[in-house]
Amino acid sequence: MDDKNKDKKPGNPWTKSLLIWVGVLFGLVLFAQMIEGGSRTAAGDPIAYSDFVRQVDEGNVRSVTVAAAATGTQTISGKLGNGQSFRTTAPADAQVTERLIQKGVQVQAKEAEQSSFWLILLYQSLPFILILGVSFFIMRQMQKNAGSGAMGFGKSRARMLTQKEGRVTFADVAGIDEAREELQEIVEFLKDPGRFARLGGKIPKGALLVGSPGTGKTLLARAIAGEAGVPFFTISGSDFVEMFVGVGASRVRDMFEQAKKSAPCIVFIDEIDAVGRHRGAGLGNGNDEREQTLNQLLVEMDGFEANEGIIIIAATNRPDVLDPALLRPGRFDRQVVVPRPDIEGREQILGVHMKKVPLAPDVDARVIARGTPGFSGADLANLVNEAALLAARKGKRLVAMQEFEEAKDKVLMGTERKSMVMTEDEKRMTAYHEAGHAIVALHEPASDPIHKATIIPRGRALGMVMRLPERDNYSYHRDKMHANLAVAMGGRVAEEIIFGYDKVSSGASSDIQYATGLARDMVTRWGMSDALGPLQYADADEEVFLGYSMNRQRHMSNETAQLIDKEIRRIVDGGYERARTLLTEHEEQLHSLAKALLEYETLSGEEIKTILDGGTVDRGHSTKPVIPAAGSSIPKSRKPKAGFGGAAPAGA
């Protein structure tokens, strides 16, 4: 019996709504009929009573019907001598009947209609009944759509996912094997809890996924939902917090009430840092909506009443700002780090995404993975998609290695801006700027190898030297930092050597920004200053208010701040002098490489080495893009972080 009722349940709301609308329409029709019936008495054209008397006196009335009304008046209808119908109302004191009989008019009497008491009551109360019915219908609809209606302000916005379409499993997750294994144990516990309970094990109450954006935290959560086969609720941390105090806490309570009804189940909270930030860290008092919501979440996760069978999985890329009470065992028992993939992981991720793309025989996922260090899973998915779009744009049926290389350059350096107008002087300045970066990088032993150099504008840069490491690096050494500082200063130094002090451009703005930031980290975070020693002078989550560092104001004296600025200046000047020394010693190579960039505009790392060894570049055919003639202004631009170089116009 319960199953039958359960099957019929989805149709009941629609049937009830239909019956309500039918009742409303029937009431409106009845109301219109009553009004029309009250106003429709006798047939005929209405005439004035005085005109009726005149017609009687003149003998133009053939027959009449007299009906008494409830108000004491008389309703008279009939026909004139010419056959025309008429009707009129006679006053209560009029001697109508005697006058009509005297004039020989045929008279018929009609009894007054007696209205039913219930009909009158219905007639009077029908408007109020209609208003109440419509109001009741609206209230029911608001309660039905409680999550989005005004009456459901405190209802949870968690959505339960179904696996009918777009099911994701652990087979679709690659490159993060350790994180997958930790979460797979939770899935096995949900499938067979007795296996762990026999040894006294308890199911973890929560797992926090920590990782950079794009590393696959949400994908992992979807895979858990696909593998577990239990109800899976998903909600964002920002869905709890509203401008009205108490709404977020109410939504937390309602979410756990829903989860209890479906236990065992999984609740996934994305971007939990929106609601789980450290309490008392704000500039105001702690009695706000967000902290009340967090308090309720803490109570529900591990409060006085246990929520058995409910596993909370949350994701964030800011674990440093979360409240310590949220991270303790018993709430989030596990913190699963989802890192950026290494070369093996990148190859596996590329294999997952390449299954959906028709590939040419020359595509090698290992080569692409080796050339994309630091890419996250989302970056690799974007790379495969860009390659497919490039192949489709060219009308190809297969995606070849050439499209992957072009897509990688587009992702790393930006889109080529071949239509950008540059004067010959600007192109020459850009060529020497990029050649300066490349020469310094080649002669610095700790620098990464050059992947490509170009003076074709890409993205917001006028040119770029792209370097890629030979392998994944997990630490940053002092000699490499000083080498990167020298490479960053190479473009500015090359301009000064070739064009003179007064002709130095603003193209090194992003290089200077990079060098200053690197030197500041060396001094304040990594303890690489002999004058300041191995101490940390900046917190990881340094808070800035009105342009001033709150941590510096609390923990740093003016003398220390001045010494830090002096050390930053010394380190950057050291990189500048190293670049000047190298470019002065190899000025002939600087000229050779700049001329080659002006001729070919884009050179690979191997081609640069060939040119500096005295060889020539053999490409078989010209690949030089068309550069428009001079005469147009260049918009403001800024070099992206992917590499060094990029002579930028003033104001960058």
Query: Catalytic annotation on 424?
Result: no
Do residue 257 and residue 330 come from a single domain? Answer: yes
Do residue 100 and residue 245 come from a single domain? Answer: no
Q: Is the dihedral of CA 577, 579, 582, 586 positive or negative?
A: negative
Do residue 101 and residue 169 come from a single domain? Answer: no
Residue 163 lies in a domain: yes
Higher-pLDDT residue of 623 and 28 is: 28
Across 453-479, average pLDDT:
80
Confidence of residue 637 (pLDDT cuts 50, 70, 90): very low
Q: What angle do CA 339, 345, 350 make, to 5 degrees?
A: 120
Confidence of residue 450 (pLDDT cuts 50, 70, 90): confident
**Mean pLDDT computed over every residue of the chain:** 76
CATH number of the CATH domain containing 557: 1.20.58.760
Confidence of residue 521 (pLDDT cuts 50, 70, 90): very high
CA distance 126 to 520: 80
pLDDT of 53 > 60? The answer is yes
Is the separation of the CB atoms in 378 and 214 below 8 Å?
yes
pLDDT of 463: 81
Higher-pLDDT residue of 641 and 281 is: 281
pLDDT of 170 > 70? The answer is yes
Domain that holds residue 462: 424-612
Confidence of residue 309 (pLDDT cuts 50, 70, 90): confident
pLDDT of 406 > 90? The answer is no
Higher-pLDDT residue of 301 and 241 is: 301
Confidence of residue 436 (pLDDT cuts 50, 70, 90): very high
Do residue 293 and residue 226 come from a single domain? Answer: yes
pLDDT of 240 > 80? The answer is no
Per residue in 389-403, pLDDT tens? 999 998 999 999 989
Q: Annotate 105-124 with DSSP letters as a single string.
A: -EEEEEPPP---HHHHHHHH
Across 318-345, average pLDDT:
85
- Number of domains observed in the structure of the chain: 4
pLDDT of 69: 66
Residue 589 lies in a domain: yes
pLDDT of 75 > 50? The answer is yes
Q: In 450-604, which residue ranges form alpha helices assigned H by DSSP? A: 478-499, 509-524, 550-555, 558-585, 587-600
Do residue 514 and residue 446 come from a single domain? Answer: yes
- Which residue type, as a one-letter code, is found at position 418? K
CA distance 413 to 432: 19
pLDDT of 569 > 90? The answer is yes
Least confidently predicted of 182-191, 255-264, 627-636: 627-636
Do residue 182 and residue 285 come from a single domain? Answer: yes
pLDDT of 285 > 60? The answer is no
Residue 537 lies in a domain: yes
Do residue 297 and residue 333 come from a single domain? Answer: yes
- Report the DSSP pairing between strands 159-161 and 232-236: antiparallel
Per residue in 467-515, pLDDT tens? 877 777 777 889 999 999 999 999 999 999 999 888 888 888 889 999 9
Confidence of residue 427 (pLDDT cuts 50, 70, 90): confident
Last residue of a domain, one of 337, 354, 379: 337
CATH number of the CATH domain containing 309: 3.40.50.300
Residue 22 lies in a domain: no
What distance separates the 2 farthest-apart alpha carbons in the chain? Answer: 141
First to last CA, the chain: 74
Higher-pLDDT residue of 108 and 560 is: 560
CA distance 366 to 349: 11
Last residue of a domain, one of 292, 309, 337: 337
Residue 323 lies in a domain: yes
CATH number of the CATH domain containing 78: 3.30.720.210
Q: In 262-364, which residue ranges form alpha helices assigned H by DSSP? A: 289-302, 324-327, 343-354
pLDDT of 632 > 60? The answer is no
Across 94-119, average pLDDT:
71
Do residue 330 and residue 354 come from a single domain? Answer: no
- Which residue type, as a one-letter code, is found at position 86? F
pLDDT of 146: 44
Last residue of a domain, one of 317, 337, 357: 337
pLDDT of 626 > 50? The answer is no
- Report the DSSP pairing between strands 450-454 and 464-467: antiparallel
pLDDT of 631: 32
pLDDT of 337 > 80? The answer is yes
pLDDT of 652: 30
Q: Which two tokens stand for residue 583?
A: 């470019």
Confidence of residue 279 (pLDDT cuts 50, 70, 90): confident
pLDDT of 633: 31
- Catalytic residue, from 300, 434, 444, 495: name it: 434
Confidence of residue 538 (pLDDT cuts 50, 70, 90): confident
Do residue 279 and residue 408 come from a single domain? Answer: no
pLDDT of 522: 92
pLDDT of 398: 92
pLDDT of 578 > 90? The answer is yes
Q: What angle do CA 648, 651, 652 make, to 5 degrees?
A: 45
Residue 639 lies in a domain: no
**pTM for the structure as a whole:** 0.62
Count other Cβ atoms within 10 Å, centred on residue 267: 26
Percent of the chain with pLDDT over 70: 75
- Which residue type, as a one-letter code, is found at position 307? N
Across 285-292, average pLDDT:
66
pLDDT of 143: 54
Higher-pLDDT residue of 218 and 157 is: 218
Residue 126 lies in a domain: no
pLDDT of 106: 79
Residue 632 lies in a domain: no
Do residue 403 and residue 444 come from a single domain? Answer: no
Do residue 438 and residue 574 come from a single domain? Answer: yes
Least confidently predicted of 39-53, 423-437, 516-530: 39-53
pLDDT of 582 > 90? The answer is yes
In 3D space, the residue among 194, 195, 278, 264 whose CA is nearest the CA of residue 229 turns out to be 264
CA distance 158 to 283: 31
Do residue 238 and residue 169 come from a single domain? Answer: yes
pLDDT of 410 > 80? The answer is yes
In 3D space, the residue among 227, 185, 215, 208 whose CA is nearest the CA of residue 270 turns out to be 208
